[in-house]
Amino acid sequence: MRMRPTLSWTPAGELPPGTTDPRPVADLLGAGGVLVLSGAGLSTESGIPDYRGEGGSLSRHTPMTYQDFTAGEQARRRYWARSHLGWRTFGRALPNAGHRAVAAFGRQGLLTGVITQNVDGLHQAAGSEDVVELHGSLDRVVCLSCGARSARRDLARRLEEANPGFAPVAAGINPDGDADLTDDQVGDFRVVPCEICGGILKPDVVFFGEAVPPRRVEHCRELVRAATSLLVLGSSLTVMSGLRFVRQAARAGIPVLIVNRDPTRGDQHAVTRVALPLGPALTTVAARLGVPVDDGTATPA
Going edge to edge, which strands form the sheet with 136-143? Answer: 149-151, 136-143, 201-205
What pLDDT does residue 300 have? 43
Cα gap 266→165, rounded to integer Å: 46
Of the candidates 91, 93, 75, the residue with the CA atom closest to the CA atom of residue 157: 91
For residue range 157-195, list pLDDT tens digits in order: 999 999 999 988 887 777 777 888 888 999 999 999 999
Long-range pairs for 50-59 at CB < 8 Å and ≥24 separation? Answer: 50/175, 50/234, 50/236, 51/174, 51/175, 51/236, 51/238, 52/7, 52/8, 52/236, 52/238, 52/262, 53/236, 53/261, 53/262, 54/262, 57/172, 57/174, 57/175, 58/5, 58/7, 58/8
44 labeled binding residue: yes
What pLDDT does residue 143 have? 98
What pLDDT does residue 283 have? 97
Q: Number of helices (H) and strands (E), helices first, in the chain?
A: 10, 9
283 and 25 Cβ atoms separated by less than 8 Å: no
Cα gap 238→220, rounded to integer Å: 18
220 labeled binding residue: no
42 labeled binding residue: yes
- Between CA 261 and CA 31, with CA 21 as vertex, the angle to 5 degrees is 105
Partners of 34 in the β-ladder? 111, 229
What pLDDT does residue 64 have? 85
What pLDDT does residue 295 have? 83
For residue range 258-271, list pLDDT tens digits in order: 999 999 999 999 99
236 labeled binding residue: yes
Question: Would you tell me which CATH number, out of the four given (3.30.1600.10, 1.10.630.10, 3.40.50.1970, 3.40.50.720), belongs to the domain 56-92+138-205?
Answer: 3.30.1600.10
What pLDDT does residue 51 have? 58
Confidence of residue 140 (pLDDT cuts 50, 70, 90): very high
Instruction: Compute the mean pLDDT over every residue in the chain, rounded to the nearest whole number.
Output: 90
| Domain extent listing, the chain | 19-48+95-135+211-301, 56-92+138-205
188 labeled binding residue: no
Catalytic residue chosen out of the listed positions 99, 135, 219, 269: 135
Q: List all residues 6 or more positions away from 165 whose beta carbon is below 8 Å from its beta carbon.
A: none
**Is 70 exceeded by the pLDDT of residue 77?**
yes
The region of weakest confidence among 5-19, 63-77, 87-101, 154-168 is: 5-19
Cα gap 232→287, rounded to integer Å: 20
For residue range 198-244, list pLDDT tens digits in order: 999 999 999 988 999 999 999 999 999 999 999 999 999 998 999 99
Task: Using DSSP, state whether 115 is helix, strand or coil.
Answer: strand
Percent of the chain at pLDDT > 90 equals 75
Pairwise pLDDT comparison (176 vs 97), residue with the higher score: 97
Alpha carbons within 13 angstroms on the beta-carbon side of residue 240 total 7
What pLDDT does residue 174 have? 77
DSSP for 182-235 reads -HHHHTTPPPP--TTT---EEEEE--BTSPPPHHHHHHHHHHHHH-SEEEEES-
Tell whether domain 19-48+95-135+211-301 is in CATH 3.40.50.1220.
yes
What pLDDT does residue 4 have? 46
Question: For this structure, is 135 an active site residue?
Answer: yes
136: region left, alpha or beta (phi > 0 left; psi from -120 to 50 alpha): left
